[in-house]
Amino acid sequence: MAFRLFEGAEHSSVYAKFRSVWTADITDRVLTYLQERHPAPYDHAIDVGCGSGQFTQLLAPHFKQVTGIDISSNQISEAIKGNQRKNITYKTGSGECFPIADQSVELVTCVQAAHWIDMDKFYAEAYRVLKSNGCVALISYTIPEFGAHPPAKFLTKLLGNYYDNLWRKSCCDEMLNRIKHLSNRYPDEIFACRPPLKDHLRDDTMAMEHDMTVEEVVGYASSSSSYVRYVKKYSSSDILETLQRNMLKTLGQDATLDTVLRVTFPVFILFGRKPG
Ligand SMILES: C[S@@+](CC[C@H](N)C(=O)[O-])C[C@H]1O[C@@H](n2cnc3c(N)ncnc32)[C@H](O)[C@@H]1O
């Protein structure tokens, strides 16, 4: 069953504004795995479930062409609007049936999207479009964290509770199940590449660090598809305002929306290769 969760134009625009979290060290890690199996130069990479192109853009310097694919035409419109690279093309298409020719790409990435996609079909498509020794990488992060000491530790708890509340009250069982896969860092038994793909490897060591204002963290929290569903269901809800109020209270009386926080996004990556 395909979920259509990122369909609203307004949601896509909020998503584009608050979700630019991907950093070049993550792309470098993916390229290292690829280079060890398929030496450069590279012709074509595809980014499946590309959203508004946050990760797609980081691939562009390393490939002659990059194609971002997403099931939501509003996400694709936002990606096209923000595109500053001549070698990136964005296409509407599904993670179960890529609009891409056989054996034409060296890399398939799927970033923060695999839990919404049928993995058997995704990997069959990855096998079809990859050249020999081309690679696939599922890349994601879990809920952001604010540090180990109070009050940062309490901020992490507040954000975790906010998401728990959204998920419990706005998601059906099947959606909850998929979100659980993300929180559990894509368990190998469901997400690891299958034969004839090989070389499954998991990297759980990376994290992205950002300085974000309280306002940006709250904006980030509003970009979740669960928040959009929650607000539709409970139109008079002040769940976001409550999060903001509790964050400011936790930070103390001098805190404002412009107070800057060090935010960590724990990253995990699952790799695979098409045999030569
Ligand atoms: C959480 S967003 C991730 C976007 C982007 N990759 C990022 O890292 O921010 C998930 C994206 O997956 C897309 N998506 C969900 N199911 C899909 C499917 N079956 N095929 C292709 N894209 C899908 C959604 O439209 C959405 O843009």
Predicted confidence at residue 42, as pLDDT, reads 98
Determine which residue's CA is closest to atom 27 belonging to ligand 1.
51
How would you classify residue 46: left for phi > 0, otherwise alpha for psi between -120 and 50, otherwise beta? beta
Predicted confidence at residue 245, as pLDDT, reads 97
Predicted confidence at residue 4, as pLDDT, reads 61
Determine which residue's CA is closest to atom 13 belonging to ligand 1.
49
Predicted confidence at residue 141, as pLDDT, reads 96
Would you list the DSSP string of the chain? -----S--HHHHHHHHHH-----HHHHHHHHHHHHTTSPSP--EEEEET-TTTTTHHHHGGGSSEEEEEES-HHHHHHHHHT---TTEEEEE-BTTB-SS-TT-EEEEEEES-GGGS-HHHHHHHHHHHEEEEEEEEEEEE-S-B--SSTTHHHHHHHHHHHHHHHHHHH--HHHHHHHHHHHTT--HHHHS--TTSEEEEEE---EEEEEEEHHHHHHHHHTSHHHHHHHHHSTT--HHHHHHHHHHHHH-TT--TT-EEEEEEEEEEEEEE---
Nearest to 234 by CA among 143, 170, 180: 170
CA of 44 to the centre of ligand 1 (A): 20
pLDDT along the chain (276 residues), means of 10: 65 73 96 98 98 96 98 94 96 98 98 97 98 98 89 94 93 92 97 97 97 95 89 89 96 94 96 96
**Residues at CB less than 6 angstroms from ligand 1:** 2-3, 6, 19, 49-51, 54-55, 70-72, 75, 94-96, 111-113, 116-117
CA of 161 to the centre of ligand 1 (A): 24
CA of 80 to the centre of ligand 1 (A): 15
CA of 218 to the centre of ligand 1 (A): 21
CA of 49 to the centre of ligand 1 (A): 4
Q: Ligand 1 pocket test: which of 117, 119, 138, 226 has the largest number of ligand atoms within 8 Å of its C-beta?
A: 117
Sorted by where each begins, the domain ranges of the chain are 9-273
Location of structure tokens 């935010």 = 263
Q: Decide yes or no: CATH 3.40.50.150 for domain 9-273.
A: yes
CA of 52 to the centre of ligand 1 (A): 9
The pTM for the full model equals 0.94
Closest atom of ligand 1 to 94 CA is: 20
Predicted confidence at residue 5, as pLDDT, reads 67
Determine which residue's CA is closest to atom 26 belonging to ligand 1.
51
Predicted confidence at residue 131, as pLDDT, reads 98
Closest atom of ligand 1 to 110 CA is: 6
Predicted confidence at residue 6, as pLDDT, reads 62
CA of 248 to the centre of ligand 1 (A): 31
